[in-house]
Amino acid sequence: MRSAVRANIVLVVIALVALGVPFIASGFQTLEVAYALIFAIAILGLNVLTGFSGQISLGHGAFLAIGAFTTAIGVHSLRLPYVATIPIAALVCGILGYAIGLAAGRLEGIYLGLATFALGVATPDVLKKQTSLTGGVKGITLPPVTSPVAGLSDDQFFYLLCLAIAAALFVLAANILGDRTGRAWRAVRDGELAAAAFGVNVGYYKTLAFAISAAYAGVAGSLYGLATAFVSTDAFPFQLSIALLVGAVVGGIGTIGGALIGGLLTEFLPIYAQQLLLPLSKDLANAAPGAVQGILLLVVLGVARGGVAGLLSDGYRRVLERRPARAPADTSAESAVTPSPV
């Protein structure tokens, strides 16, 4: 009971800090945190696929690109409200993810990784060829998101929109992972043969994980396109898929809170690494994001397999949940009254 109260206090503090960001930080900083929330949504979907169902994906950036272009086409060509395009992007990516999950259902390990690698590499080129829909190399320009609420700037409103969507998706993921579906995913991750022996439909749950993961990435891609107000295939290189995977591992693979930490690291770590090395050398500053991500990944794999979320969880258990040692009971009086049966 005491542990649950402490956990709720931590969640309340995080919620208050998140709500206070747009009213404390500048407009540019607020937009940066909004990008971190967008990456956290994508990493949460990747965590569902890799961390909980045990299927690796090296091409998750492809679903972000599809989600972004779905919103761009809906707003620019079909004149739909931008809010209506967000669930449409989730639906389109979810259907594509389900189809890819069916095709990749018989692949495991390195073969599944190579298949998703091909998806991440090929998707930007395929989208670039569809000039009538995607604008080709020119991309699609979107109108900026404006605030309909008096007293809120455009950046504040967009941040709160991203925060509300992220909170809803995190709660949804927590409910799914705590239910029968989540238990089935963990059983498949730990051993497919054992899961099948206990009646788990392995193919169905693996495909479902792909669909939900792709839907989350579609929402993230839709918000990313609205944030940049310009959607182009150059914004979704293969390196984005690797950055999301690194963020998931470093943040804490197989944890919900790790997705939020991974989103913050994915957004802010390259920025601060460049700023730190820019006075020394411009070439070092340009190479800093990839180098820092690689070094951090090696450190996490060698020292803390649970990522940053695992380290924080261990520290929470050791510091906040420490119980005072009980004093040994004085049994001398009882022994004097009750004789030993031996």
50-93 confidence digits (pLDDT tens): 989 888 888 889 999 999 999 999 999 899 999 999 999 999 99
Query: Residue 253 is encoded by which pair of tokens?
Result: 């693979």
Instruction: Give the integer Cα–Cα distance in Å for 157 and 153.
Output: 6
Pairing of strands 230-231, 140-141: antiparallel
Instruction: Give the integer Cα–Cα distance in Å for 26 and 15.
Output: 19
Residue 328: its pLDDT value, please? Answer: 52
**Residue 213: which of 35, 67, 34, 111 has the closest Cα?**
67
Residues near 288 by beta carbon (within 8 Å), at least 6 away in sequence:
270, 273, 274, 276, 277
Residue 6: its pLDDT value, please? Answer: 64
Residue 334: its pLDDT value, please? Answer: 44
Residue 338: its pLDDT value, please? Answer: 45
Residue 264: its pLDDT value, please? Answer: 92
Burial 210-241 (b: 16+ CB within 10 A, else e): bbbbbbbbbbbbbbbbbbbeebbbebbebebb
Instruction: Give the integer Cα–Cα distance in Å for 96 and 54.
Output: 19
Instruction: Give the integer Cα–Cα distance in Å for 291 and 259.
Output: 21
Mean pLDDT by 10 residues, the chain (342 residues): 64 86 90 95 93 88 94 92 95 93 77 85 88 86 90 92 95 92 91 88 91 95 94 89 90 88 89 76 72 79 77 71 52 45 40
pTM of the model: 0.88
Instruction: Give the integer Cα–Cα distance in Å for 150 and 53.
Output: 44
Find out whether 283 and 201 touch, Cβ atoms under 8 Å.
no
- Listed by start position, the domains of the chain span 25-236
Residue 340: its pLDDT value, please? Answer: 42
79-129 confidence digits (pLDDT tens): 999 999 999 999 999 999 999 888 877 777 778 888 888 888 888 888 888
3-class secondary structure for the chain? CHHHHHHHHHHHHHHHHHHHHHHHCCHHHHHHHHHHHHHHHHHHHHHHHHHHCCCCCCCCHHHHHHHHHHHHHHHHCCCCCHHHHHHHHHHHHHHHHHHHHHHCCCCCHHHHHHHHHHHHHHHHHHHHHCHHHHCHHHCEECCCCCCCCCCCCHHHHHHHHHHHHHHHHHHHHHHHHCCHHHHHHHHHHHCHHHHHHCCCCHHHHHHHHHHHHHHHHHHHHHHHHHHHCEECHHHCCHHHHHHHHHHHHHHHCCCCHHHHHHHHHHHHHHHHHHHHHCCCCHHHHHHHHHHHHHHHHHHHHHHCCCHHHHHHHHHHHHHCCCCCCCCCCCCHHHHHHCCCCC
Residue 341: its pLDDT value, please? Answer: 41
Instruction: Give the integer Cα–Cα distance in Å for 120 and 153.
Output: 36
Residue 303: its pLDDT value, please? Answer: 76
Cα–Cα distances in Å, from 187 out to 56, 195, 202, 249, 309? 16, 5, 9, 20, 22
